[in-house]
Amino acid sequence: MTKSSVLGYPRIGEDREWKKALEAFWSGKLEEAEFQARLQEIRLNHLRKQQEKGIDLIPVNDFSYYDHILDTAAMFGIIPKRFSYEGGAVPLSVYYGVARGTKGAAASEMTKWFNTNYHYIVPELTDASPVLTENKPLAAYREAKEKLGIEGKPVIVGPLTFLKLSKGYSASETDTWLERLVPLYVQVLQELAEEGVQWVQIDEPILVTKLSQDDLQRLTKIYETIAAAVPSLNIMLQTYFESVENYTDIVKLPVKGIGLDFVHGYKGNLVAIKTLGFPADKVLGAGVIDGRGIWKASLREKLELLTALTKLVTPDRLIVQSSCSLLHVPVTTARETKLTSELKNALAFADEKLGELVLLTKALASSSESDIDEIIKSEAAIQALQQSEERNRVNIQQAVAALNNQQPERSHPFAERHQAQQAKWQLPIFPTTTIGSFPQSAEVRKARQSWRKGEWNNEQYAQYIRDQIDTWVDLQEEIGLDVLVHGEFERTDMVEFFGEKLAGFAFTQNGWVQSYGSRCVKPPVIFGDVAFTGEMTVEETKYAQSKTSRPVKGMLTGPITIMNWSFVRDDIPREQIAYQLAYALRQEVEALEQAGIGMIQVDEPAVREGLPLKEEEQADYLAWAVKAFRITTCTVHETTQIHTHMCYCEFHDMIDSIEAMDADVISIETSRSHGELIHSFELNTYKLGIGLGVYDIHSPRVPSVEEMTGMIERALRVLDARLFWINPDCGLKTRGLEETVASLRNMVEATKIARENHAATV
């Protein structure tokens, strides 16, 4: 009989209880015993929900105290030496030190989880001696069984994926590292088998990327070793985010089940299974419900797909699954009371997706009248939104269609613009600036809340924002920064702020998802055609500029980042959504310029996050992403300096695209991966203005002048000093006042040293 399953459930809780517990513990407001108790209750509540919904195979060990990759590293004792780890189960102080840094040790690098907006902690293998410190999947399995009577499905990140996502080893050491890691996996799995575990989900999303023949041979060896050691254990080799590469090799592996994504990998996986068949001795985990999107599934179409799959795989060898972990979607729509019924009825968050999975599983076996009614009701909700006025703005559709036929370009090439901008601004070598935001204290958040509740009128709130701008303009001048910002005190979030001022967006009350650690975001919902409705940033930026003779940057979030950090409609191509956003933002850029703002930053930290996992699709994506940025910025005068910012991504394979954006200045996060990015510039020439972040704003420490000087000097070995800017690696919104001022003072001091060292060469 067909069963239902999910690959993972959101950690954060309906009211972000998880986040609140973490931050209370970090701040010393919770003792460790109480903290552990709170997290256990959250964890059990999540399992209870899935049990009550009727999910057959419920994942365990998908819960985390911070990040599942960090969990795997900790389970194997892979802790960088700078944290003074002494062996055994990793203490929470060490675990969180690796994630967040300590006063004496920098945090481990953080980067995106494939092409999602979730970020994981990169394991550091240098000098590591892996050993099993504790069997986390076994503990999770026992807890679920003892507390709730659940026969859980332990989840663990597979050895090939874990190794590929790690750093600190050379390609020639790959086999050596697998020889160290695989026996530990075997030990974990043997203990699970001895406990009576029936299914184990081993996540190998790396299999949707291009692998070498050597890696395929390694993969075979890994799973042959595991199969020989635990022949009785049912292993679901789980892939997601795309269709698998090397399908024939993967389905031959000695595992009981293969999990495939039939949402984001729909075309490739369906063609493979129809053309090449599926082994008669294996179970197919069919990921038919979107684990990353928030829209109701067309249950009619999904049922048709599942029915087609039963022609290739018998129903008893089919598991109806989410396409990936539900980590990437909010918890429930139940508490959304302010959305229009038309929109809310078309949404499905994690809990609603559980219901879809159970309904499809039942309907596949035997469609009852009530099942059919539910399917019809779901289809009607989808159609109602599709026919809405918001999705049919003809003027926007026509304007964007016209943009498709244009090649957006600045009026002058960079060399001429740079000369004109230097003549206008008269900036010193190595200009200093920040990325845009300054600390949003509890007082700032309280003021915004008072305004939103109606306790403050518009003028009270506007005056408060002006007071904050006054304070920080004075501080920036006193610190000695060359190019200032207004601080973004009026903004809750760099995407939400703009979405609230554009047509085509909606906002949830509780649609939170985890971005990294306790950092949760509430992505806007792009549900209709996007349209500019009026100036969004001009008032505050113009006010800040009136308070200083130094240039103040206008600050916008770019079209690709707004799109990639939102939940987007799935009825039109993402390219068209990007162009709609670009067209709207262009009108804001032009309004800033007309208001006398001569430097405008259009941030695109998420460009690479949207990069397709398939190499053959990447060039097309980058082409239209670059085009969207240029649509936004191309109409300004040559003396108007366009900045952009990117963070927490690998850039070595898209330097050409970054240059093609034709921003006058780009700032890039490098503080956690400085050496790797500098190496990229050793191999690639970059001819535009650039600032490499000289300190990590996500770590609660004040970097020394010497530390930042070292970063500056290394960058100047490969970058043109005449085009080099100095800045933090990201916005300072989440940092405290004292550490922000101290860090910026040290940054300016490091800049003075660099200017003295290079005065004769520029």
Model pLDDT for residues 192-209, shown as the tens digit of each residue: 999 999 999 999 999 999
Q: What is the pLDDT of residue 711?
A: 86
- Residue 109 inside a domain? The answer is yes
The pLDDT of 167-176, averaged and rounded, is 97
313 and 443 together in one domain:
no
**Worst-scoring range by mean pLDDT, 514-518, 625-629, 667-671?**
667-671
Known binding-site positions for Zn(2+): 645, 647, 669, 730
Mean pLDDT (the chain, rounded): 94
Q: How confident is the model at residue 683 (pLDDT cuts 50, 70, 90)?
A: low
Q: What is the pLDDT of residue 675?
A: 56
422 and 288 together in one domain:
no
If you compute the radius of gyration of the chain from its CA atoms, what whole number of angstroms results? 26
429 and 313 together in one domain:
no
Contact between 263 and 240 (Cβ < 8 Å): no
- Residue 365 inside a domain? The answer is no
Q: What is the pLDDT of residue 672?
A: 54
Known binding-site positions: 16-19, 112, 117, 435-437, 488, 519-520, 565, 603, 609, 645, 647, 669, 730
- Residue 429 inside a domain? The answer is yes
- Residue 452 inside a domain? The answer is yes
Contact between 581 and 589 (Cβ < 8 Å): no
Q: What is the pLDDT of residue 674?
A: 52
611 and 717 together in one domain:
yes
Q: What is the pLDDT of residues 382-412, one digit of tens each?
A: 999 999 999 999 999 999 999 888 889 999 9
- Residue 406 inside a domain? The answer is no
The pLDDT of 207-224, averaged and rounded, is 97
455 and 577 together in one domain:
yes
The string of DSSP codes covering 651-682 is -TT-HHHHHHT--SEEEE--TTSHHHHHHHHH
443 and 577 together in one domain:
yes
Identify which has the larger pLDDT, 553 or 717. Answer: 553
Q: What is the pLDDT of residues 602-660, one digit of tens each?
A: 999 888 888 899 999 999 999 999 999 999 999 999 999 999 998 755 566 788 888 99
- Cβ atoms within 10 A of the Cβ of 291, count? 25
- Residue 392 inside a domain? The answer is no
Known binding-site positions for L-methionine: 435-437, 488, 603
Q: What is the pLDDT of residues 320-336, one digit of tens each?
A: 999 999 999 999 999 99
Q: How many domains does the chain have?
A: 2
Helix ranges, 412-518 (H) = 414-425, 442-452, 458-479, 496-499
| Long-range contacts from 515-519, C-beta under 8 angstroms, 24+ separation | 515/117, 515/118, 515/119, 516/67, 516/110, 516/118, 516/119, 516/120, 517/22, 517/66, 517/67, 517/99, 517/100, 518/18, 518/19, 518/22, 518/23, 518/26, 518/66, 519/734
Q: How confident is the model at residue 34 (pLDDT cuts 50, 70, 90)?
A: very high
d(CA 278, CA 308): 13
Q: What is the pLDDT of residues 326-367, one digit of tens each?
A: 999 999 999 999 999 999 999 999 999 999 999 999 999 887
d(CA 336, CA 463): 32
d(CA 372, CA 106): 56
55 and 172 together in one domain:
yes
- Residue 338 inside a domain? The answer is no
CA atoms within 13 A on the CB side of 466: 11
499 and 645 together in one domain:
yes
Q: How confident is the model at residue 671 (pLDDT cuts 50, 70, 90)?
A: low
678 and 541 together in one domain:
yes
pTM: 0.90
| Long-range contacts from 543-546, C-beta under 8 angstroms, 24+ separation | 543/466, 543/469, 543/486, 544/469, 544/473, 544/484, 544/485, 544/486, 544/487, 545/596, 545/597
Quick one: CA dihedral 589, 591, 596, 597, positive or negative?
Answer: negative
Q: What is the pLDDT of residue 370?
A: 81
The pLDDT of 12-41, averaged and rounded, is 97
Residue 223 belongs to domain with CATH number: 3.20.20.210
Q: How confident is the model at residue 673 (pLDDT cuts 50, 70, 90)?
A: low
- Catalytic-labelled residue, pool 652, 674, 698, 758: 698
| Residue 699 reports pLDDT greater than 80 | no
**Worst-scoring range by mean pLDDT, 206-215, 588-597, 639-648?**
639-648
Q: What is the pLDDT of residues 427-453, one digit of tens each?
A: 999 999 999 999 998 899 999 999 999
- Residue 337 inside a domain? The answer is no
Q: What is the pLDDT of residue 544?
A: 97
Q: What is the pLDDT of residue 530?
A: 98
425 and 322 together in one domain:
no
514 and 646 together in one domain:
yes
Q: What is the pLDDT of residue 555?
A: 97
559 and 660 together in one domain:
yes
Q: Is 129 helix (H, G, I), strand (E, B) or coil?
A: coil
Q: Between 705-716 and 737-758, two packed helices, what is the crossing angle to 10 degrees?
A: 50
Q: What is the pLDDT of residue 390?
A: 95
Q: What is the pLDDT of residue 749?
A: 97
Annotated active-site residue 119? The verdict is: no
Domain span at residue 668? 415-761
Q: What is the pLDDT of residues 284-320, one digit of tens each?
A: 999 999 999 999 999 999 999 999 999 999 999 999 9
